Amino acid sequence: MPLNKSLSKTVTTFPASGWDRDMEARIELPNFFEIQGWRDNLIDPPPGPDETANELEDLLEKQEKLQDPSEWLIRKPEIELEAKEDCPYIRRLLMPASSVSFSGTDVLIRAMFELGTIVGIYYKKKFMRSRPSQLEPRLRPIIDVPGWPAYPSNHALQYFLIAKALATVVHSDELSEQLFKIAQRVAENREWAGLHYCSDTEAGERLAFAIFPSVMDAYRETFQRAAREWT
């Protein structure tokens, strides 16, 4: 059947604004994995038994402190929200109720979260560190323990990667400071939840900073689009 003449004159290219943002966040992902070096032991192995024992004692102390309502009533809702939503506090800080005009920023956040997940899982498989509650039966995590190893903390990696990425586009010292405070709080909340050791958190932060130069190279268009929204 011949193509309708009026249709043949219509531009049939998919509209740039029609992309699903989660899918759009993955467009430049292959670029990152073409860059050499991200697998090259960018973080040290997790601590040995003695330091791990000390870290477990620290987690037990945090668990005890959570009995205080001043901690429980604040941290528990945060921990539960951060477990089920991606970057809620960062989104509230940067974007209004309608994020239409900040679609590039939203895509950048999603891209960093996605990348952090994959890189983190690679290193978790490399080190295979047990979760704290697997070693210390007195620990009672307040949310479900994920079904993958502990080291490094993916939440720390993801949030510090997002904070670093956004700090390069918002051009505001005040906003940048708040972004890193949120990242630190989220990462520490995973310790308070009983899911991660302190060294997991530190490793996630170090890994985020270590891969960031490659991230900038790989995600040029994503960064540029987000930056235009903050000029």
For the stretch 101-114, pLDDT in tens is 789 999 999 999 99
Note the pLDDT of residue 3.
55
**pLDDT of 18:** 86
Q: Stretch 89-96: mean pLDDT, rounded?
A: 84
pLDDT tens for each residue of 119-163:
999 999 999 999 999 999 999 999 999 999 999 999 999 999 999
Residue 10: what pLDDT? 63
Pair 110, 25: CB distance under 8 Å? yes
- Residue 125 vs residue 98, higher pLDDT: 125
* 49 close to 197: Cβ distance less than 8 angstroms: no
User: Encoding tokens for residue 146?
Assistant: 């994920």
**Residues near 179 by beta carbon (within 8 Å), at least 6 away in sequence:** 90, 93, 162, 163, 166, 167, 170
Please write the tens of the pLDDT for every residue from 28-71.
999 999 999 999 999 999 999 999 999 999 999 999 999 999 99
Q: Taking 60 as the threshold, does the pLDDT of residue 230 lie above it?
A: yes
Q: Which of 30, 23, 31, 167 is nearest to 107 (CA)?
A: 23
Ramachandran class of 51: left when φ > 0, alpha when ψ lies in -120 to 50, beta otherwise: alpha
Where do the domains of the chain lie? Answer: 61-228
CB 204 within 8 A of CB 93: no
215 against 100, higher pLDDT:
215
**Radius of gyration of the chain, Cα coordinates, nearest whole angstrom:** 20
pLDDT above 70 covers a percentage of the chain that reads 93
On the question of pLDDT at 88 being above 80, the answer is yes
Phi/psi at 92 (5° precision): -65, -35
Fold of 61-228: Vanadium-containing Chloroperoxidase; domain 1 (1.20.144)
What's the rounded mean pLDDT across residues 162-180? 95
